[in-house]
Amino acid sequence: MMTALHYQLSSVRHDAGLEALVLADSAGCLVAGAGAWPTCEMLAAYAPLLAHRSLANNDLVASTVGSLTESTEVRSLSVDGSEVLLCARGPSSLRGSSIARAASGCRRILGGEA
């Protein structure tokens, strides 16, 4: 399953020219990713804060989240009743459709709901 997730994310990332595309759990742990490993880990760590901006509880974190917002998009997925986050970093014109394609593939692989 992990290999399938990686290939799904890699395919979408390549086709869309994204810098990175990651699947993270609700605590910000990297589940699967495509792109430079440090970037994937950083996106996974910030994904919960990007998805739920009210969690950014100090000025430094809020500032970092704000700067990432311009180049990043996050979509929440439910898998067996748990939230996972799909996070894409790259050109804004490509993120929306690409993250939708990646979400569809991740739901198929993981058997989750939208």
Q: Domain of 76: which CATH number?
A: 3.30.450.30
Domain residues for 64? 2-110
Average pLDDT of the chain is 84
pLDDT tens profile 43-95: 999 899 888 766 656 665 556 666 666 778 889 988 888 889 999 988 777 77
Q: Residue 17 and residue 40: Cα distance in Å, rounded?
A: 15
Q: Indicate whether 103 pLDDT > 50.
A: yes
Which three-class secondary structure state does DSSP give residue 17? coil
Contacts of 103 (CB under 8 A, 6+ apart): 75, 77, 86, 114
End-to-end, the C-alpha distance of the chain in Å comes to 18
Number of independent structural domains in the chain: 1
Higher confidence at residue 111 or residue 56? 111
